[in-house]
């Protein structure tokens, strides 16, 4: 990962609030940050390429689009943890997975085009791994503005 300089901090702080909703958002950002549009796009790509940023893109309300998502977990024997993580990485519906210090030590998010897709994917994971999936669907939506000042 790259050491962030003042420009990086200003750029990332600004982008945490979204792109400007105008016809030419990069031009608007260039004006706000007093930097050429190409520098902004190039720097974002560099931060993605070196792993400083893992994702840059829109956040959609998948349920408003007819899709579904859920938080899920597995209790994976330690000696199989890396194997199961690789198996989950091959499933398109798995947005990401991570380790937790808990009986359920592997947590992941599933996102599918339909609610039935969640159930189908859980079945696929259980068949593939031989482990039972703990499905924790959302009960209530809360919109919390989250910003990490850099």
Tens of pLDDT, residues 81-120: 999 999 999 999 998 889 999 999 999 999 999 999 999 9
**pLDDT score recorded for residue 142:** 80
The domain locations on the chain are: 6-49, 62-136
Question: Who contacts 26 (Cβ-Cβ below 8 Å, separation ≥6)?
Answer: 37, 40, 41
Task: Give the containing element (helix H, strand E) for 11.
Answer: helix 6-15
For the cut 80, the answer to whether the pLDDT of residue 32 exceeds it is: yes
Q: Whose structure tokens read 């349920």?
A: 63
Question: What pLDDT, in 10s, does the model give residues 114-144?
Answer: 999 999 999 999 999 999 999 999 888 887 7
DSSP 82-143: HHHHHHHHT-TTEEEEEE-SSSS-EEEEEEESSHHHHHHHHHHHHHHHS---EEE--SS---
CB atoms within 10 A of CB 57: 5
- In sequence order, what DSSP letters do the residues of 56-88 get, joined into one string? -S----GGGGT-EEEEEEE---GGGHHHHHHHH
Its CATH class, for the domain covering 62-136, is alpha beta
Tally the residues of the chain.
Answer: 150
The answer to whether 143 touches 128, Cβ cutoff 8 Å, is no
Say how far apart CA 87 and CA 94 lie, in whole Å.
Answer: 10
């Amino acid at each position: 990962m790259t050491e962030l300089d003042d420009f990086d901090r200003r750029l990332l702080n600004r982008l945490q609030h979204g792109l400007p909703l105008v016809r030419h958002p990069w031009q608007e950002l260039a004006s706000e940050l007093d930097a050429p549009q190409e520098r902004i796009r190039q720097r974002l790509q560099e931060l993605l390429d070196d792993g400083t940023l893992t994702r840059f893109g829109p956040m959609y309300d998948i349920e408003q689009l007819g899709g579904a998502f859920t938080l899920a977990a597995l209790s994976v024997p330690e000696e199989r943890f890396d194997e199961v993580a690789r198996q989950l990485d091959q499933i398109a519906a798995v947005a990401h997975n991570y380790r937790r210090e808990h009986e359920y030590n592997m947590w992941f998010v599933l996102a599918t085009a339909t609610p039935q897709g969640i159930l189908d994917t859980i079945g696929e994971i259980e068949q593939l791994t031989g482990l039972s999936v703990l499905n924790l669907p959302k009960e209530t939506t809360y919109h919390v503005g989250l910003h990490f000042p850099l």
